[in-house]
Amino acid sequence: MTEPFILERLSVGPIQVNCFLVACPRTFEAMVIDPGDEGERILAAAKALGMKIEQIVNTHGHFDHIGANRYVVEATNARLMIHPADVPLLKNAEAHAQIFGLRTVPSPEPDQLINHGDTLQVGDLNFEVLHIPGHSPGGISLYGHGHLFVGDILFAGSIGRTDLPGGDHDSLVEGIHEHLMGLPDQTVVHAGHGPDTTIGREKQMNPYVGNHS
């Protein structure tokens, strides 16, 4: 079976965030999801695959997911996108990193604010924006072509932490059920940390969201 797009995953930074490069196989136009750190490495991977980075999407504004925003924007002139509710987190990322004894590079201002129901086009590819607050106020997932990029909303066997400023456990679980658990079981889930999973597997195995009536 031919994959619908070119996909590369890099684990970057001290917290090992999954940064995804997604490109159209016809045009090689590409989107970077969560360039958390190691901008040079991200660009080298894109170059090796012949990708032209047009868009940068932050699934949310936490410091570990946005640290290479500036580097990639300045190198590619790509459009930076985030949900409006997480712009304050994006702007406050340096102070947030310091709480954990870490540092990050301040992000540029976003070029485009994305909301629930928006469609992002990457060459011939289309991804729907699904807003699911709870891990952060403006957390989003991107769904398209049988794949789901969830940031820190959902993990293999777990969900995002909700004890950070703006977190809300009930909203997170409700949003996961409303917007994600109804997707086809075979949908591949790409999380912001850790391994891939599927919607079907999480329905069966995830104690936070499984077997929910």
Query: Would you tell me how many other CB atoms lie within 10 Å of the CB of residue 10?
Result: 22
Return the residue matching tokens 């970057």.
12
CATH no., domain 6-205: 3.60.15.10
φ/ψ of 132, rounded to 5, equals -135, 95
Taking each continuous run of H as one helix and of E as one strand, the counts in the chain are 6, 14
Residue type, 202: E
The pLDDT tens digits for 26-58 are: 999 999 999 999 999 999 999 999 999 999 999
- b/e per residue, 143-161, with b = 16+ CB within 10 A? bbeebbbbbbbbbbeebbe
pLDDT value at position 166? 86
Residues of the chain with pLDDT under 70: 1-2, 210-213
Query: Would you tell me how many other CB atoms lie within 10 Å of the CB of residue 81?
Result: 20
